[in-house]
Amino acid sequence: MSKRRVLFLCNANSARSLMGEVLLRHMAGDRFEAFSAGTEPDEPHALTLDALNKQGLSTEGLHSKSLDAFESEAFDYVIVLCDKDLQACRDWQGKAGETLYWDIRDPRLINKPDAYQQALQEIRRRLQLWLPLHTSE
Q: What is the mean pLDDT of residues 50-69?
A: 94
This prediction's pTM: 0.93
Looking at residues 67-75, what average pLDDT do you find? 91
What CATH number did the domain enclosing 14 receive?
3.40.50.2300
Domain total of the chain: 1
Q: What is the pLDDT of residue 60?
A: 92
3-class DSSP string for the chain:
CCCEEEEEEECCCCCHHHHHHHHHHHHHCCCEEEEEEECCCCCCCHHHHHHHHHCCCCCCCCCCCEHHHHCCCEEEEEEECCCCCCHHHHCCCCEEEEEEECCCCCHHHCCCCCHHHHHHHHHHHHHHHHHHHHCCC
Range of the domain at 87: 4-134
